[in-house]
Amino acid sequence: MLPGFTPWPEKVAQYYRETGCWSGETFGQLLRRQAQSYGEQVVLVSGEQRITYAQLDQRVDRLATGLNRLGIAAGDRVIVQLPNIPAFFEVIFALFRIGALPVFSLPLHRRQEVIYFANYSEAKAYIIPDIEAGYDYRTLAAEVKAEAPGLRHIIVAGEPGEYMALEDLYEDLVELPQEPVASDVAFLQLSGGSTGLSKLIPRTHDDYMYSLRASVEVCQLDEHSVYLAVLPVAHNYPLSSPGVLGTIYAGGQIVLARSGSPDEAFALIDKEKVTITALVPPLALVWLEAAVSRNVHLDSLQVLQVGGAKLGAEAARRVKPVLGCQLQQVFGMAEGLVNYTRLDDPEEIIVETQGKPMSVYDEIRIVDEEDNEVEPGTAGHLLARGPYTIRGYYKADEHNARSFTSDGFYRTGDLARLNPAGYLIVEGRAKDQINRGGDKVAAEEVENHLLAHPAVFDAALVSMPDMYLGERSCAFIIVRSDRTENGAAAAPSAMELKTFLRERGLAAYKIPDRIEFVDHFPQTGVGKVSKKALRERIAQQSAVR
Ligand code: OOB
């Protein structure tokens, strides 16, 4: 078993097996099975390229052979930072087949994030594209390699430069080592981070496969489904809710988009007869605007999923009349629990709630500060436990003690209430995180980077309301007194601080949208920084402007 992984207690695991939640199938086996059932059907469409299930299965075997020959073996961790291209699928399934673990990094991650994941996971290899969206990942890899001594291989999907070409690793299949078992950890997914840096989330074949099966059922996917992948596929939502892996589970077809722009997406929906896609709320707003102004109807589209952040009821109400498809709200987390509104739910439920747990085996509780259940219908802290919700982060004992109850419930950090029909309404957040239109920013992480600036005495990052993204971030800064006394020249400007963070190699979505200089922070009764007061202050200030 992977060191640093917290398994489900044996009795619980047995129960999930007996009830059939955990089927014992691995991802490597799933692809093999689908290649047998749907061999000649197209699984991936990327530009002009069309790849069938049988072709994908063969390419995966050949890549697994090459990766294995390179020395990547069962249990090894490999950072995968690939955009929505076929190589993403070949790489992850090849790793699954040899029992190596993808560590999912998002395309927007930069030096800080990748170095941290590489060292935290003790990754042996790092797989990148050459240039994507104008950014050269080989330059990033050089910087990462210098700070992550454990990285032995850098593999490039595309022009390799000084590194190794992924294409050269496809070899004739020789015998592969024994495949992993379904109770093994299949990969490490990223958390949004609530205190400090993101934690890694170990997901097993068993638990993740179950989440696919339940998602496919709720979302009614089958072999005729065509899923458009707009969001970066490494994220849990487009990966598995039901996402690209759910589509493979159902025998359907995946259409890969490189961006979420209506120009690209609408054309793909029309051309490939897409039936379902998934967006975050800001993108859904852009699509609604674009559909109205261009007077387009996305005829084949049956379901538009929106999740990752809260969708306003007003926007939710417009989806069906404007786009002509059913809206499905998705409230999930990489740690496990996923809630969906059902496709046949009444309009009010679909528009006003964030759905209900996808499985009857999900257990949720809404509690107060003392972990006592609140009165039905009142808001409280959402706790979750179940067959696909983790029991601990990877190698994070101290953090785990705070993030899980003694009886194994995950503390989601979300504030929610239940309506009488058992649907969740997200009311806010207790965790110190900013949800920037679906991109999660851990306040403490950004504060620590700000504190590294010689002129910064203290920093507090909070959310401020934003019409488009839902929330943006605002950093309140106290400048060192010697700086302010020495005159304006010595105190940094907001622009300088942003540049400082960017040059440190922090993902762009974590750079504060706004910076406010203050003399002191408001305090809570016990002398902590009152982020609530700071949030109220910036909300008022931005409303005045
Ligand atoms: C998804 O996963 P993560 O891990 O990036 O973020 C999880 C957090 C939740 O705890 C919650 O705070 C927020 O994102 N969230 C929502 C939401 N969906 C996610 N808040 C309000 N309304 C929603 N509909 O974001 C994710 C994973 C799987 C499926 C969907 C989303």
What pLDDT shows up at residue 484? 65
Q: How far apart are CA 499 and CA 51, in angstroms?
A: 42
Percent of the chain with pLDDT over 70: 99
Q: Which CATH code for domain 231-431?
A: 3.40.50.12780
Nearest CA to ligand 1 atom 6: 333
Tokens for 208, please give them.
């993740």
Q: Whose CA is nearest to atom 19 of ligand 1?
A: 308
- CA nearest neighbour of 433 among 270, 196, 213: 196
Q: Are 98 and 206 in contact (CB under 8 A)?
A: no
**Considering only CA atoms, which of 48, 82, 42 is closest in space to residue 63?**
82
Residue 248: closest CA among 87, 62, 53, 54: 53
Fold of 433-544: GMP Synthetase; Chain A, domain 3 (3.30.300)
Q: What are phi and psi of 476, to 5 degrees?
A: -90, 130
Closest atom, ligand 1, to C-alpha of 429: 12
Order the strands of the 470-479 sheet from edge to edge: 456-466, 470-479, 514-517
- The closest residue, in CA terms, to atom 3 on ligand 1 is 333
| Segment 6-30, tens digit of pLDDT | 999 999 999 999 999 999 999 999 9
Q: Where are the domains of the chain?
A: 231-431, 433-544
Average pLDDT estimate for 153-163: 98
Span 281-289, mean pLDDT? 97
Return the pLDDT at 173: 86
pTM of the model: 0.97
Cα(88) to centroid of ligand 1, in Å? 23
What distance in angstroms lies between residue 336's CA and the mean position of ligand 1's atoms?
10
Average pLDDT over residues 210-214: 98
Helices and strands per DSSP (H, E), number in the chain? 18, 27
Residues in the ligand 1 pocket, defined by CB under 6 Å: 192, 236-237, 241, 307-310, 329-334, 338, 354, 412, 414, 426, 429, 435, 440
